[in-house]
């Protein structure tokens, strides 16, 4: 049985004080909740604040991205060593916004996934297709290509540490959401392609759904057998809204 993971991606929102206020309000709402794993992804400026407050609770915290190198002349970047020193446990890799705005290529994503694993971080590998790609019937080809690039040379013995987040780009921040049936069908496709790279261990990997997940639709999505959690954007910015999704 794959334990579901519910993650909050705050993107470029919340100052450290706002992040702390969220956590103070959120923790009592999910106290004692052990059915699902809960992870917050604040911006890098708030990460240390959030980690310090959630330490010892049932909530974890991770970074929204990272570099693959331990150190170097990479102005503006954060290394996996820095993240683990802070106490981060997870890291988002390959989010569609990073692919779109920061030239996040499959080759770089591959390096980051391997670096995360080598440093004991849980990588949440994000994949997803654009609207025109879905409408032209290219969804499976796009996802297969993204997985092949990201998982090239990935050690099968560490497959259980990998999490994949399927995010149809056309549903991120648009209010559009894949129906539970479409999402489930796509998750099966993703799992089948992962099996080509990782064998039977693909059955152990959690595949999250992301794309306008809200309290109103979270239960119908998360009841699907191959949807193993959610990566939540806008609806995770308010404590009561995100808690409602966690308690779907």
Distance CA 224, CA 183 (A): 9
Which are the contacts of 183, defined by CB distance < 8 A and separation ≥ 6? Answer: 166, 209, 221, 224, 227
How far apart, in whole angstroms, are the C-alpha atoms of residue 79 and residue 115? 9
37, 133, 167, 184: the active-site residue: 167
> How far apart are the C-alpha atoms of 9 and 43, rounded to whole Å?
9
**Rounded CA separation 221/228 (Å):** 9
Q: Reduce the DSSP state of residue 228 to 3 states and report it.
A: coil
Nearest in space to 51 (alpha carbons), one of 80, 74, 84: 84
At 78, list the tokens: 């954060």
Q: Is there a catalytic annotation at residue 24?
A: no
Q: What is the DSSP string of 100-163?
A: HHS---HHHHHHHHHHHHHTT-EEEEEE---HHHHHTT-HHHHHHHHHHHHTTT--GGGGGG-E
Of 37, 67, 90, 95, the catalytic one is 95
User: Is 158 noted as a catalytic residue in this protein?
Assistant: no
Half-sphere exposure of residue 35, counting CA atoms within 13 Å on the CB side? 8
Which residues are designated catalytic?
A: 95, 167
């Amino acid at each position: 049985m794959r334990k579901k993971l519910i993650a909050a991606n705050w993107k470029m929102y919340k100052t450290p004080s706002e992040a702390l206020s969220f956590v103070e309000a959120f923790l009592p709402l999910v106290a004692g909740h052990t059915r699902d794993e809960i992870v917050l992804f604040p911006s890098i400026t708030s990460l240390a604040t959030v980690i310090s407050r959630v330490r010892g609770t049932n909530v974890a915290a991770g970074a929204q991205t990272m570099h693959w190198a331990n150190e170097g002349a990479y102005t503006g970047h954060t290394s996996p060593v820095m993240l683990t020193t802070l106490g981060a446990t997870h890291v988002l890799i390959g989010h569609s916004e990073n692919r779109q705005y920061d030239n996040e290529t499959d080759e770089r994503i591959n390096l980051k996934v391997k670096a995360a694993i080598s440093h004991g971080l849980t990588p949440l590998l994000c994949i997803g297709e654009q609207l025109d790609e879905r409408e032209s019937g290219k969804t499976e080809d796009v996802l297969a290509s993204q997985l092949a690039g990201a998982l090239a040379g990935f050690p099968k013995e560490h497959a259980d540490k990998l999490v994949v987040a399927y995010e149809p780009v056309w549903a991120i921040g648009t209010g559009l959401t894949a129906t539970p049936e479409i999402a489930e069908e796509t998750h099966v496709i993703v799992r089948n392609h992962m099996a080509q790279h990782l064998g039977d261990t693909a059955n152990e990997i959690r595949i999250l759904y992301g794309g306008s997940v809200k309290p109103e639709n979270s239960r119908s999505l998360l009841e699907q057998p191959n949807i193993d959690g959610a990566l939540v954007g806008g609806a995770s910015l308010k404590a009561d809204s995100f808690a409602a999704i966690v308690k779907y």
